[in-house]
Amino acid sequence: MSAPSFAFPTPLAEKYRPRAIVEFIGLGRQKRIISNFARNPRSAAFLFTGPSGTGKTTMALALRDAIAGELIHIPSQHCTVAELEESLRMTQYVPMAGKRFWFVLVDEADQMTDKAQLALLSKLDSTGRIDGCVFVFTCNSTDRLEARFLSRCLPIEFSSYGMAGDIAAYLEKVWHAEGGNGNGPDFARLAKECRNNVRDCLGRLEVELLAL
């Protein structure tokens, strides 16, 4: 007897999540910086800042793929000194076959404990830098981050400013690709109401498609 299938349709936000740097809507400067780095990667620490839904974490994962990095993901709520040391212990070993770098992603880095930030200082500069390791920290705001920590990161600001037209056109394309009939909802208004948050826009669009 064959096993039952529990496959479900993929949510639009996941189905249309960019996998490569060039696939992102807008973000021309950010894509250029990250693409140039990916062509000649090295040990470094990036800080991706900006509002929710502007692609920070997704861009980090696209960079990870572009440089063939083995992911170490540290959620901010677990970013204590003990958790940090435990996670980074992996970097003492060679990445798995086919991987060139260790890639450490810390989401919502502004929620890290103060002690965790201090513990990272030496790991992000020449005194204790981990060879072959790229760090990416993401956050909405840098207000809670130590100045010494910030000085050791390469900052890239993410913004959806000026992207309303591109997002509206993208939503219309998705609408028709997913079987939407007629002209669909007011895509420009949808983008505005979601403050150009593409993830939220796709969620709203999915509801409109379910209403057909």
Q: How many CA atoms lie within 13 A of 146 on its CB side?
A: 13
Per the structure, how many domains does the chain have? 2
Whether the per-residue pLDDT at 7 is higher than 60: the answer is: no
Examine residue 115 and state whether it is found in any structural domain, yes or no. Answer: yes
| Residue 171 belongs to domain spanning | 161-210
Same domain, 177 and 147: no
Cα–Cα distances in angstroms (integers) from residue 112 to residues 34, 141, 186, in the given order: 24, 12, 40
pLDDT at position 1 is: 47
Same domain, 104 and 172: no
Give 192's contacts (C-beta < 8 A, 6+ positions apart). 164
Give the tens place of pLDDT for each residue, 172-189: 999 999 998 887 899 999
Q: List the CATH number of the domain containing 63.
A: 3.40.50.300
pLDDT at position 18 is: 92
Tokens of 85: 């040391």
What's this model's pTM, rounded to 2 decimal places? 0.87
Whether the per-residue pLDDT at 190 is higher than 90: the answer is: yes
Q: How far apart are CA 161 and CA 95, in angstroms?
A: 38
Give the tens place of pLDDT for each residue, 16-66: 999 999 999 989 999 999 999 999 999 999 999 998 888 999 999 999 999
Same domain, 173 and 147: no
Task: Please say which residue of 139, 157, 175 terminates a domain.
Answer: 157
Q: How many CA atoms lie within 13 A of 96 on its CB side?
A: 5
